Structure 1
């Protein structure tokens, strides 16, 4: 009981260390201050019956854009739940930050405990990852909430892959949940982490093979579990992943996030930046003089030296006894090498020296900032804290956890504070549609559909134009994804209607319930020639073939989850039925 309380206390202090700046009144200054508006737009769309939410009515200068088809939606679904429960917008945003630190702390703890077979290792891994300076940068400088949620998912994925060697179902669900959270929170982190997750899975596959006395059947079952988990998670997230991948060419995203300031070649790091603890609140710049820090952490740098000394000394000792390099394939050395590979590989990808890889793999340009690889590097550096538990026991292990825990907390906790607080937050955190259209749209133009002319664009002062002029009408249905107009008297002749809606695949126009063709005008807006004597005209966002198949895939994947859960618990269910 005492040990459980002590464990809860240590994890609680870690979470507090990462979130103490959330408690003061008001909201802190961050680069990305649009979270509140995204939550408001998500809440509005859900309230209007749009699910899954794809279209934001008020972004795109009031002409709308498919924000949540491309911008990972999970944090905002959760934030919308808080907001619908009556919590203030800023409180809802802060809760998303707080949940992120809780999930990160527990995920890293379970991963460290599982890999190194020691609760103390779990505590240190949790402290080092949750309090990693790069997480502080994401939370309290950049305000990169989605990326922080992506980082939260990583330890859960690795934990599931590892624990599945001995507990198939537990590992399967942990891996699946972690992958779903990752893909729906920050798909760029998924791209970054994918090769490292694959290498980790290969290491675990080898360990399963050796631990099962080279039993091929059980090893293949384990492999099948991992593949099944990956497939199920991809199916569950298909409603978002496939449209985001296959329909991005219908937006202006490549014109806004792949050039100018966002050109990846301007944001490589220098090795010395990993060791510079000088903190700042500016933006990323070309060269080593960024006014923000990419510090790995004081304790993280020290533990690398400790691990190198302890592991190297033990390896030389074991090599003298066995005189066989095959000992590298032993669990303690194989996991250590995997962690070092994750750390070295992720740091390398953030350096200018890796530019050949970046240019060869064109999709990496969507990552924009090579230093985003610090998300994986931070986890790998945290895992280094568990490596000594392969080699030290007793008093040395107890001394190690006390010293390193204190060092991590003391050296990192003050990075988790903002530059300043705003007591009056009404200028940045609001749900007023008019202000979203006129102020926030300029900040986030990434997903405005192609064809929309952004030069001198202003929010619309009309709902529909008849032959270029404002005309009398009644708006019977007014939702972000569907509108129904009534014309009294009916249109006297064929009329060209222009709607204040950006055209995007899936929009359809109906005249008295009959679907009619439409086209884009010179400003990219939905325009249609309406037959004479038409009384009712509707505009509705429907599914495309890509979206429909993706939604169906996610639905059947969810049904599969229910079926698998029933299979897992069939004995329990039948036992209850019998009793």
Structure 2
């Protein structure tokens, strides 16, 4: 027991305060069962379930998901960062638990880890009070608190927000106290950052690289040189750069394979000018960046929210910037990096950075400039801590403990509206392959991606689901991928399933023939006939795998395996890991004699208990205020019911057939100019469960009824109508780009619904049920000057 007490005494009490601060942020996940059905969280659940099935079947690192995309297979694990799924397996494999509980646990760990990581880094440079305020500023930044985990449900990106400050903390410890342990932790966490989320890995690795370069510029890395150059001293001198390179190298088995095989899939759907993924459509204004959270409407199928940097965080960060700029801040040279980083990130979020988005390589794959709100929250959190430390050092000793309490209280209170997350169903439902197929058939996504991101490049036409394969998946039976309709007469095929990614076919026939399989061809699939490798072919236009088979009786095997690119990537990971362990072993045998210790309180130990208890009290007070009063009274959320959309500027009741009603719309612009972008938002509501996926159009016509601009969507609100609930409205945003040579005059906006496959429109009905027209005309008309 005494040993336990001694070990427990070494735990920083500030960690428990961070967890108390986190409690309010974690409450929506803790207080409710299951997870939402209509966010990306469901995609991560299905991916984890698929990986779990493959791991249990002996495929330790599958790059292929055989049950996705109607059973044709999908290379999701070759292109999407795998870390969160493998971490989730540790929970999924536990008795009683499953993929839903695993994903929820990772959301919780991600938020808590973000706070602990940020606190740990800032505490060691600017003291505990600063670290605790930084933790709160980071956790309650709108993008970290609400947008990623709840509105988007992006598990991988959300989890990356925990790994970045942890990696920064580890690398800073390596800078100040080089040891084999700090070396390995640093490399592990850098590698984890790279494996957490494809896009955030690029951003956070760039920020870490910039931080390393900054340490070299300011002389933040103590030199062991005694005028004798040798390999050991070189490794120690450049330990930060080496740890960063080796950390990225350890993760090469994933990212390098992705880069080398990027042409094997159709990544063009992820970027494009003029579409939803055009970065030009997703900049923020300065006003939006500084906005306070708005109340969320629980009557919406998907909550509308403001993308913001967090007003309180930006203001407190401004104090930190001022403190660094005028020389008030301790460790000012360290603070300058975060000043420059915050300025750069703000610049890249605003439209003024369009030029850089157009010329910088790979950045367009970020798609949304507002995505940088997450990294901005991290650097702002550090500046919040610096600002807090400056104030603490300058106020009277008796009130020092109140400074972090007031800062944390303001941050948490300003975020209360974002804690009012719309309720979700108590039961997520099955996570089987049959459930995945049902979701794909509903039209919302395919292969757990909404834009066919990773469809093999050899697929010219997207094939529809095959009846026999559908039945097999829905009935939990092995998938028969043989295209029987193309087999010659007197040809027999018997299928043997060796593993989810390895099939054996016993064939016999009187003639040479092509064994066509309902399986997407992709690098890694290889075929053998009687143990001899054969060159497979591609069945166009669907891109299915084809194996040439000679006449007679043969044993044909089809297996998914390595490629030269993957072998190279794995080899580089192995070399990087070996070098990391070798240097760790050397340092273990020959410990570096460098240490740089800082005062970790910044306030004096005699006052620290006051700080910790005041923060615990303010955190629990705000938590109870929300749980006991605000949530029950419903003060901080809206609730549209019936034929009502509270956020709509114009209320209407326009019924299209007996299917869908337009219950409101927004049209802010009244007077515009040629070349402007006109924004229209429609609020739709299903009148009954729908069995057709309708398309939507918005038309702008002149006085002679000529079409001059339009916006069309395959799914209104990017939500297939078959999946629309009947108790919530769907918010549908449109942007119309006016022609640069559009003549001045009065123009009319209209919208409607139609079926693209058959070319017919839903009729607009009057109160008696008679058809008026096939579109709804918005008022007032648009004036072009």
Structure 1 residue aligned with 2:494: 474
Would you say the 8 A contact 2:290–2:308 is kept in 1? yes
Aligned with residue 122 of structure 2, among 103, 112, 123: 112
Secondary structure, counterpart of 1:168 in structure 2 = coil
Q: 1:27 — aligned with what?
A: 35
Determine which structure has greater relative contact order: mean sequence separation of CA pairs < 8 Å that are 6+ residues apart, divided by chain length: 1
**Alignment partner of 1:73 is 2:82:** yes
Residue number among 555, 568, 575 corresponding to 1:556 in the alignment: 575
TM-score, normalization: structure 2? 0.65
Q: For residue 449 of structure 1, what is the aligned residue in structure 2?
A: 456
* Greater CA drift, 458-467 or 543-552: 458-467
Partner of 2:276: 261
Whether the 8 Å CA contact 2:515–2:549 is kept in 1: the answer is yes
Change (3 A) 1:436 1:491: farther
SS at match of 2:276: helix
Matches within 5 A, 1:311-330: none
Q: Is the 2:496–2:504 Cα contact (8 Å) retained in structure 1?
A: yes
Give the structure with the higher percent strand: 2
Distance in structure 1 (CA, Å) of the matches to 2:576 and 2:156: 24
Could you tell me whether the CA contact under 8 Å between 2:515 and 2:547 is conserved in 1?
A: yes
2:69 to 51, 60, 64: 60
Change (3 A) 1:210 1:263: closer
* Structure 1 alignment gaps of length 5 or more: 283-289, 316-329, 573-579
Q: Which residue of 1 aligns with 2:768?
A: none
Q: 2:571 matched to 1:566?
A: no
Whole-Å separation in 2 of the counterparts to 1:515 and 1:5: 60
Matching residue within 315, 326, 329 for 1:302: 315
Contact persistence 1:107–1:152 (CA under 8 A) = yes
Cα distance between partner residues in 2 of 1:219 and 1:176: 19
Corresponding residue of 2:19: 12
CA distance, structure 2, for counterparts of residue 71 and residue 298 of structure 1: 33
Instruction: Report the secondary structure of 2:91's partner residue.
Output: helix
* Counterpart position of 2:643: none
Deviation at 1:34, TM superposition (A): 0.8
Higher helix share: 1
Counterparts of 2:348 and 2:107, CA distance in 1? 27
Structure 1 459/192 Cα, relative in aligned 2: closer, same or farther at 3 Å? Answer: farther
State the Cα distance separating 1:361 from its structure 2 match: 1.5
Give, in whole Å, the separation in 1 of the partners of 2:322 and 2:578.
Answer: 51
Partner of 1:50: 59
Summarize the alignment of residues 91-170 of structure 1 with structure 2, pairs less than 5 Å apart: 91-116=101-126, 118-136=127-145, 137-169=147-179, 170=181
Gaps of 5+ in 2: 1-7, 298-302, 469-479, 592-785
CA distance in 2, matches of 1:460, 1:548: 37
Residue pair 2:284, 2:351 contacting (<8 A) in 1 also: yes
Structure 1 range deviating more: 528-537 or 216-225: 216-225
User: How far off its partner does 1:502 sit?
Assistant: 0.4
Deviation for aligned residue 1:109: 1.1
Residue aligning to 1:246: 260
For 1:277, the equivalent position in structure 2 comes to 292
Q: CA deviation at 1:119?
A: 1.6
SS of the aligned residue for 2:415 comes to helix
Q: Is the 8 A contact 2:289 2:308 kept in 1?
A: yes
Q: Tell me the alpha carbon deviations over residues 487-532 of structure 1, each in whole angstroms, 9 at most, x when there is no partner.
A: 3xx2222121101110011211111111111110111001122011
Q: How much does 1:162 deviate?
A: 2.0
Q: How far does the alpha carbon of each residue in 1:358-383 deviate from its partner, in whole angstroms, 9 at most, with x for none? A: 11124111111111111221011111
- On the 8 A contact 2:36/2:428 being kept in 1, the answer is no
Is 1:349–1:370's contact at 8 Å kept on the other side of the alignment? yes
The alpha-carbon deviation at position 474 of structure 1 amounts to: 2.5
Deviations 1:110-147 (A, max 9, x none): 1111222x122211111111221111210111111111
Q: Which moved more, 1:30-39 or 1:207-216?
A: 207-216
Mean Cα deviation higher: 17-26 or 460-469: 460-469
- Cα deviation code 1:539-571 (max 9, x no counterpart): 111211110111122233334444444334448
Which stretch of the first structure deviates more once superposed, 44-53 or 457-466? 457-466
CA contact (8 A) 2:308 2:373 kept: no
The residue matched to 2:175 in structure 1 has which SS?
A: coil
TM-fit CA distance, 1:309: 5.5
Cα deviation for residue 395 of structure 1 reads: 4.1
Q: Where does 1:439-518 land on structure 2 (aligned, <5 Å)?
A: 439=442, 440-441=445-446, 444=449, 445-455=452-462, 457-459=464-466, 461=468, 462-465=480-483, 468-469=486-487, 472-487=492-507, 490-518=508-536
Residues 21-50 of structure 1, C-alpha deviations (whole Å, 9 max, x = no match): 112123235521211110011112222322
Q: Distance in 2 between matches of 1:466 and 1:178?
A: 50
SS in 2 for 1:464: coil
1:466 and 1:254 map into 2 onto residues whose CA distance is 34
State the Cα distance separating 1:213 from its structure 2 match: 11
- How many Å apart are 1:336 and its aligned residue? 2.7
CA contact (8 A) 1:346 1:373 kept: yes
- In the other structure, the counterpart of 1:198 is 209
Runs of 4+ residues deviating >6 angstroms: 1-5, 210-219
Residues 256 and 304 (structure 1 numbering): CA distance in 2 closer, same or farther, change over 3 Å?
closer
1:217-256 equivalence runs, <5 A:
221-256=235-270
Instruction: Give how far 1:63 is off.
Output: 0.7
Q: CA deviation at 1:148?
A: 1.1
Distance 1:274 1:263 in 2: 20
Cα distance between partner residues in 1 of 2:16 and 2:48: 33
- Structure 2 counterpart of 1:401: 404
Q: Aligned in 2, Cα 1:311/1:364: closer, same or farther, shift over 3 Å?
A: closer
Separation of aligned partners in 2, 1:210 and 1:566: 21
CA distance in 2, matches of 1:311, 1:372: 27
Question: How far apart, CA to CA, are the structure 1 residues paired with 2:296 and 2:111?
Answer: 20
Change (3 A) 1:36 1:305: closer
Structure 2 match to 1:425:
428
Residues 466-494 of structure 1 show CA distances to partners (whole Å, capped at 9, x for unaligned) of 5714964332225332111123xx22221
Who wins on radius of gyration, i.e. which is larger?
Answer: 2
1:313 Cα deviation after fit: 6.0
What SS class does the counterpart of residue 499 from structure 1 fall into?
A: strand
Moved more, 402-411 or 467-476: 467-476
Judged with a 3 Å threshold, the aligned counterparts in structure 2 of structure 1 residues 564 and 307 are, in CA distance, closer, same or farther, namely closer
